[in-house]
């Protein structure tokens, strides 16, 4: 059972797996019988956006909010007014998938008044295999820039260290060491440890901070994956 604040903001550097986590998280909430809305607020990166899986998520009862222009095949940085739904409808569990750099986080400033009316969590997804966040110092600097731009505080860390389908337990634990160091230096708790389903049995949950969160690779099409 996911027991976070009703509004969840998901941030993370390009290639961190931010959107993969956000989509898996939305599906998990839906499986728990929750009324879910996911808003694609990434107006910077045109690749691997949550809106690309709108049909699949909507079939699961998840409301997908994206561009105000109904043209999913083109890159239009226009946010739908429907993004206010998760803020205004208290029966909805909201997920905001935000752009992967401080510029992308500026969109959150637009909704500052709504944030103040609602309890929220802002989770920072960290992948230790990305050069921009491969040390605690770099990850913290990135995190602080996002906070300053968004005018909102990160409330939890997510270890999503991976090498897509080539990921092994060693990768997860490498990321865990880094994320726990970030937590130690900032006081921000490790909330989730994102782990491919096939690797979950190999993780000792008693030896790590955070809750193991099994994920599937949803954002990458089958043709992109190694068929080993």
pLDDT in tens, 65-86: 875 434 444 444 456 678 888 8
Q: Does residue 175 belong to any structural domain of this protein? A: yes
Cross-sheet strand order for the sheet of 190-196? 63-65, 36-41, 93-98, 7-12, 120-126, 156-159, 190-196, 211-215
pLDDT at 107: 79
Q: Which two tokens stand for residue 129?
A: 């295999």
Domain presence at residue 14: yes
Count the domains in the chain.
1
Render pLDDT for 23-37 as a digit per residue (tens, 0 to 9).
999 999 999 999 999
- Where helices occur in the chain by DSSP H, the ranges are 18-31, 54-59, 85-88, 102-109, 112-117, 136-150, 169-186
Interatomic CA distance for residues 212 and 156, integer angstroms: 14
CB 41 within 8 A of CB 79: yes
pTM for this entry: 0.87
What string of DSSP letters covers 124-166?
EEE-TTSGGGSSHHHHHHHHHHHHHHHT----EEEE---BTBT
**What mean pLDDT is predicted for residues 218-222?**
66
- Does the residue 2 lie in any domain? no
DSSP at 68: S
Structural domain including 87 reads: 7-68+76-224
Give the per-residue pLDDT at 221.
53
**Contact present, 113 and 107 (Cβ < 8 Å):** no
Asked whether residue 80 is assigned to any structural domain, the reply reads yes
Q: Is residue 207 part of a domain?
A: yes
Is residue 94 a part of any domain in this protein? yes
% of the chain surpassing 70 pLDDT: 85
Please return the burial class of 29, using the count of CB atoms within 10 Å of its CB with bins 0-12, 13-18 and 19+.
buried
pLDDT in tens, 129-174: 999 999 999 999 999 998 988 888 999 999 999 988 899 999 999 9
Q: Is residue 64 part of a domain?
A: yes
**CATH classification at residue 52:** 3.40.50.300
Residue 16 lies in a domain: yes
Instruction: Determine how β-strand 190-196 pairs with β-strand 156-159.
Output: parallel
Residue 128 makes CB contacts below 8 A (sequence gap 6+) with: 134, 159, 161, 171, 174, 175, 177, 178, 179
């Amino acid at each position: 059972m996911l027991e976070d604040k009703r509004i969840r903001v998901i941030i993370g550097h390009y290639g961190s797996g931010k959107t993969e986590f956000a989509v898996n998280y939305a599906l998990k909430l839906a499986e728990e019988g929750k009324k879910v809305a996911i808003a694609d607020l990434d107006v910077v990166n045109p690749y691997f956006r949550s809106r690309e899986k709108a049909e699949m998520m909507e079939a699961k009862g998840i409301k997908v909010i994206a561009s105000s222009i109904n043209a999913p095949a083109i890159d239009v940085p226009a946010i739908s007014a429907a993004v206010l739904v998760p803020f205004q409808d208290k029966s909805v569990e909201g997920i905001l998938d935000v752009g992967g750099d401080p510029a992308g986080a500026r969109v959150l400033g637009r909704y500052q008044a709504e944030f103040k009316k609602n309890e929220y969590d802002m989770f920072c997804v960290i992948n230790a295999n990305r050069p921009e966040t491969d040390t605690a110092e770099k990850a913290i600097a990135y995190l602080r820039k996002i906070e300053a731009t968004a005018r909102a505080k990160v409330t939890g860390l997510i270890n999503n260290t991976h090498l897509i389908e080539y990921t092994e337990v060693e990768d997860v634990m490498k990321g865990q060491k880094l994320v726990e160091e970030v937590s130690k230096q900032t006081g921000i708790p490790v909330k989730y440890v994102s782990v491919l389903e096939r690797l979950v049995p190999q993780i000792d949950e008693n030896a790590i901070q955070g809750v193991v969160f099994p994920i599937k690779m949803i954002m990458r099409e089958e043709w992109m994956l190694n068929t080993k």
